[in-house]
Amino acid sequence: MASDNAVLTQREIDALLSADVSKLDADSIVAMPPPPRKDRGERRVKPYDFRHPEKLSKEQLRGLQIIQQGVASAMAANFSARLRAPVESRLSALERGIYEEYVSQLGTQSIVIIIDMSPLQGYAVTAFGLDVAFGIIDRLLGGKGKQPPRTLNRDLTDIEIALIRHIGMDVARSLIEPWARIVELTPDVSELALGPQVMHAIPPSEFVITAWYEIRLAEQTGGISLCFPLTILEQILPKLTGQSLFDNRPSRKAKEEQRVREEQILPMNVLVRTILGSARVSATDLARLEPGDIIVLDREVDEPLRVMVGNCERFAGVPGTRGRRLALQVTGIVDDDGWVRPFEDDANG
């Protein structure tokens, strides 16, 4: 085969000139395409969708997916505890898009709840159909959790709105523990509406990440969605990596201590009182009491006073004054047998 730079001989040139080209059919002449240009510096053109931009990397999306899978487990636990029935929840999809497209998928027969993502600046949106809402309401009111046989074209009652708000709070609380490895959330339900009437919560063209969950209750299946705008995600993007998620993962012991502290100790109000003594006085003598009369109690002067925590004797102390106020100095613990054990004995033991 001749090379690309081969030169025609004189005989080949004469043969080409003497050829009768008039007999050739014009349709049979095929133009040879020009050889492709080999530009070694040519850059590949990557298509870019301006309506669905790539705002998050694959690693950040994977981190967000791990968190949302934890939200699904927490949601099932919260619903099961409220309904006293087994509830299954799983993450079915994690989609990217814009808020306008998300709202268009909800339909008019949906409950839309705005969640304040404090301390993050911004709001998230959760939505679920009336079939899910009325199935949970039926269970809360003593039923079996069945969905209504037909669509209810009426306004929600005050009781139904209150119960649906509790459902929204369960969804909001499901975010606390899975998101704890990134930020300590204190979410709260800000607004509730029937149908996509809360477009003002997030701009229509805002980029969002939507998590879709499948809920199973009493052989009924429904869907719940959680929509997070980019304004919230931008505040936590540096922490949405695999290493950061594992580094910031709270330990089981710390979470258990926090649960005990927040749910049991802090909200409790306990009455603490000291009993000086007791005495039996007849109603006749009680009616005749006058200033200056003395009632003899059943305790000695040097006997320590008992401190009641609730209705149980727990401590012992000595009365006195502090400034112009009465005071009690706690000196020991009352054991289960009713004996006073001084603090010095506890320290030595």
Question: Average pLDDT per run of 10 along the chain, which is 349 residues long?
Answer: 59 69 56 58 60 70 88 90 87 89 83 90 89 83 68 74 90 90 88 72 86 85 90 82 57 60 63 85 88 86 84 86 88 83 66
Confidence (pLDDT) at 226? 93
**152 close to 134: Cβ distance less than 8 angstroms:** yes
CA angle 260, 264, 268 (to 5 degrees): 150
**240 close to 63: Cβ distance less than 8 angstroms:** yes
Confidence (pLDDT) at 47? 63
Cα 81 to Cα 263: distance, rounded to the nearest angstrom: 15
Q: What are phi and psi of 248, to 5 degrees?
A: -95, 10
Sequence-distant (6+) residues with CB within 8 A of 342 are 331, 332
Give the residue among 196, 225, 198 at the shortest CA–CA distance from 71: 225
**333 close to 316: Cβ distance less than 8 angstroms:** yes
Confidence (pLDDT) at 36? 61
Confidence (pLDDT) at 246? 55
Confidence (pLDDT) at 255? 61
Sequence-distant (6+) residues with CB within 8 A of 114 are 123, 124, 125, 189, 190, 191, 192, 198, 201
**156 close to 139: Cβ distance less than 8 angstroms:** no
